[in-house]
Amino acid sequence: MTLLEILLIAIGLCFDTLAVSMVGGACMGKTGLGKRLSIIGSFALFQGGFTFIGWALGSTFSHYIERYDHWVAFALLAYIGGEMIINALLNREEKSDVDLLKPGKLIISSMATSIDALAVGISFAMLQMTCGRAAWASLIIAAVTALAAALGLAGGKRVGSFAGRWTNLLGGVILLALGIKILLEHLCF
């Protein structure tokens, strides 16, 4: 697998992270650099880590993971997105339901956007990629994901200042749509 192919895979994997971090950025107030770096690091760690874990699991367990990965991603994104939609429609005063500053929400969001990386890692094992090459690919995927998360947080903050309360509703719809997209891709294709 070439560097270009790995970069293209990394870019494809990070679109969910970009969307979720935009939602988080839109809903967050002023935050320090340390908190932003922890959000970026979480997304990157899970995406790169799941890729490597997938490679380590290899083809032995692939049929179990492929059966359920889309359901797990859908459930996590639907839970977060649904909660945001309900709170927005009920005009709750909460700042955000996808408050990426809350460790639990950040971990759930990071995991949900990284489920596909597990399958990519398994495909690396099926391609008989060496451990060193899989580690290198995982680091590239983590770096691209970190960049996507940073861009999403910055862009979301700008969008959030204009959209106000509607960011929770829009964010919830986006997250729910991502979950449905993942589910439909696996069930229909």
Query: Rounded to an integer, what distance in angstroms lies between the CA atom of residue 63 and that of residue 33?
Result: 41
Q: What is the mean pLDDT of residues 46-72?
A: 80
Query: Is 140 a residue whose pLDDT tops 80?
Result: yes
Query: Rounded to an integer, what distance in angstroms lies between the CA atom of residue 51 and that of residue 69?
Result: 13
The structure tokens listed for 170 are: 């829009």
State the pLDDT at residue 62: 57
The structure tokens listed for 46 are: 């899970």
Query: Is 96 a residue whose pLDDT tops 50?
Result: no
pLDDT digits over 53-62, tens only?
A: 989 988 666 5
Per-range mean pLDDT, top range of 18-22, 141-145, 155-159, 162-166: 141-145
Give the residue carrying structure tokens 């977060």.
80
Higher pLDDT residue, 153 or 189?
A: 153
Higher pLDDT residue, 121 or 172?
A: 121
Query: Rounded to an integer, what distance in angstroms lies between the CA atom of residue 150 and that of residue 100?
Result: 13
- Residue pair 84/187 in contact by the 8 Å Cβ criterion: no
State the pLDDT at residue 94: 45
Domain-wise residue ranges, the chain: 3-188
The structure tokens listed for 182 are: 């993942």
Query: Rounded to an integer, what distance in angstroms lies between the CA atom of residue 189 and that of residue 105?
Result: 30
State the pLDDT at residue 161: 55
Please state, in angstroms and as integers, the Cα–Cα distance from residue 45 to each residue in 20, 42, 101, 119, 123, following that order.
Answer: 15, 5, 16, 16, 19
| pLDDT bucket at 173, cuts 50 / 70 / 90 | confident
